[in-house]
Amino acid sequence: MTSRVDGPLKVTGRAGYGLDRTLPGMVYGYVVVSTIAHGEIEAMDVTAAKSAPGVVGVYSPFDSLALNPGNFPGFGETWVPLQDREVLYYGQPIGFVVAETFEQARDAAMLVGVSYRPRPALTSLADGLASAEDAPASRGVPSTLSVLAPGVESIEDALAASPVVVEATYSTATQNHAAMEPHSAVAVWEDGVLTVYSGNQGSDLQASELAGSLGLEPAAVHAVNPFVGGAFGGKGRTSTPAFLAAAAARALGRPVKAALTREQVFTATAGRAATVQKIALGAERDGTLVALRHDSWCSTDALRSFVEPTSHGTSREWYATRNLAISQKMVPLNIPQTTFMRAPGEAPGSFALESAIDELALALDMDPIELRQRNNSTAPPGEDLQWSSKHLDECFRVGAAQFGWSGRRPGGRTDGDWLVGLGTATAMFPALRFPATVGITLRDDDTAEVGTSGADPGTGLLTVLSLVGAESLDIAPERIVPRLGDSRLPPGGMSGGSTATASAGTAIMIAAAQAIDELLALASAPGAPFDGQDVLYADGRVLAGGRSMTFGELLRALDRPSLYVTGSSAPGEELTKHSFSSFGAQFCEVRVHKWTREARVSRMLGVFDGGRIINEQAARSQISGGMIWGVSAALHEGLEIEANGRMANADFAGYLLPVNADIPDIGVHFVEYPDTLHNAVGARGLGEIGTVGVAAAVANAIANATGIRVRHIPIMIEDLLEE
């Protein structure tokens, strides 16, 4: 069992997060947000705020900080605050007050008077469906795609010809990342160089975005990202506090610290879109899929910043079918921005697809696992690129045996006053890899530093660097010094998309091979300890002629303190040869009280095929966290947006998250088949797949227990009341 290298720092409170930084002469910023959902700011009266105790600066669209919008490669346009008077959603940042203390800044912000010219606002996805727009292409697939068997004219014809058809509409709620650490930043300028301490999912990406918005060369921005108190996609872009703190620190010539309040986190950041999904499944009476239609709508903000790819993330690939039609539309609303959130597309998409598969199993009077296995895909429908490695059938077999699936009965069972049901669902998440560069420094004290600018937002990447670095350099993990979260380290990209281990790990292997080659060349060079000899490397030592030296001893003999190399890795020709995904089978037992209709998850098991498991303890933790997230989506989590655009539950009292009493012991099992076709490490992503399918498994278990099929999440007590 491998412990996290950052564990002792975190459990003792010695881990320093961005907001923990306190600098001499520092002042504090407080964000002012809008109180309408759509309109124009006519005026802002800042007189009282400017004269309030301790205030050193008040900024608004009428007296703005110098920030430039830009276009960030791979992510689209960069929105920066306070640059115009247009209000697009309730809670939009429209001002910034800076004072000597946080309390002074907060109190002065309450004195800012704002007058608006309101415009009609559209805040409901249901109300906006009629005005939906085609979404842009997602994952290389256009918004509408059909794959039809020869001679079939349309998906409707295929459905009409199917002996058994089920069709239903499903919906999922708006969600917020609700990370423990609010979005925040500390910014300081020195000799024309900006240093920003801010929790983010990629320090080099944050530095680039800040440099563009401030009109600086990238080298003039140093982003430090030591620890991240939760991210899940919500800290992939530079936050409002980071933009404003950086610009205000330049204007004032003093360090600035800024953080969103908990309520502001729900509006001044981006969250998961709400979705509506219509699915139709047609099958032979033996369960073979004939046709699958999946039409999706998702909310997006007025800037159309993100689309939740539900149909494209699930039905496009999950099951073998002769006929497939998917579509994705978006509904622009006056709501906060939408963005990536753990398993974007797959998490809400799997609720719809896997609920529909269960409904088809019921219509066929077939075991839900048997139906899924009968339609196991060897490649995405209509494509020739087969999965590089897929053991989903084994996941279901192992899971069914461990969970006692053979004891499942139609209609569930009773246990005193509780109705008990079992549910299952497939989980898939694409196995991706991002470009990454890792630097390795061999030191004369026989330690090795392994560093990249990426982040560890709680995933255990620091420990992965230690383990893969140690394996690649053939030394003990304790001799590795892992480094992350600094834009001056080699560019490691974003810690997101369940890519970090495969991306950084492959780069480590390349860098380690380079380091060893250069070490051997030094060892056998003229005048070196192994001058002219054929040298080998093993166990952290250089060997030749019956003697050996550690690499530290060799460097000391050469009067060199260190040897530094970099290695880079990126997706390559493997993408033209195979399709790549991680796979899993989710199992859930739910108890519904006969009289109160309270639903409680009592048992969970997830069995996953994620390639090679580098650190089983961390992998189990990631999967368990994802499964808890799925329970949260199924039974607790949903933002309620009022007609005026205000979030009705923008706090941890009304925005429900599961607590310990809501979650049983979670079983996690891995079927381990290293996937070296995907990357040299053999590991595939695990951070997000744990969430996928759980909400459907919960809904399927509730249906098994009660006979009530709920087609939206979160599922509430009132949904389970019998008429």
Which sequence positions are flagged as catalytic? Answer: 688
Torsion angles phi and psi, residue 575, rounded to 5: -70, -20
The DSSP bridge partners found for residue 115 are 43
Tell me whether strands 133-134 and 418-430 are parallel, antiparallel or unpaired: unpaired
Q: Give yes or no for a contact between 32 and 95, defined as CB atoms under 8 angstroms apart.
A: yes
d(CA 667, CA 362): 27
The DSSP bridge partners found for residue 169 are 278
Which of 649, 624, 623, 625 has the alpha carbon at shortest distance from 637? 649
Which of 195, 225, 191 has the alpha carbon at shortest distance from 210? 195
Buried-exposed string 182-201: b where 16+ CB fall within 10 A, e elsewhere:
bbbbbbbbeeeebbbbbbbb
How far does CA 338 lie from the centroid of its chain?
Answer: 13
Write out the E strands in 255-374.
Answer: 256-259, 275-283, 289-301, 323-333
CA angle, corner 631, sides to 370 and 671, nearest 5? 50
Structure tokens that stand for 657 in this block? 């998250």
Residues making up the chain, counted from first to last: 723
- Token pair 């979650």 in the structure block, residue: 663
d(CA 677, CA 280): 35
d(CA 581, CA 345): 14
d(CA 473, CA 448): 9
d(CA 306, CA 316): 19
d(CA 399, CA 697): 13
Q: Give yes or no for a contact between 175 and 293, defined as CB atoms under 8 angstroms apart.
A: no
d(CA 572, CA 503): 12
Structure tokens that stand for 723 in this block? 């008429």
| Residues 6+ positions from 215 with CB-CB distance below 8 Å | 66, 68
CA distance to 11, 343, 465, 645, per residue, from 308 (Å):
35, 10, 31, 20
Burial class (CB in 10 A: 0-12, 13-18, 19+), 394: middle
Other beta carbons less than 10 A from residue 530's beta carbon? 22
Write out the E strands in 11-131.
Answer: 27-33, 39-45, 55-59, 70-72, 76-78, 86-87, 93-99, 113-118
Q: Give yes or no for a contact between 60 and 94, defined as CB atoms under 8 angstroms apart.
A: yes
CA distance to 156, 266, 269, 468, per residue, from 202 (Å):
45, 22, 17, 20
| Residues 6+ positions from 20 with CB-CB distance below 8 Å | none
Structure tokens that stand for 672 in this block? 């381990």
d(CA 423, CA 204): 43
d(CA 349, CA 340): 14
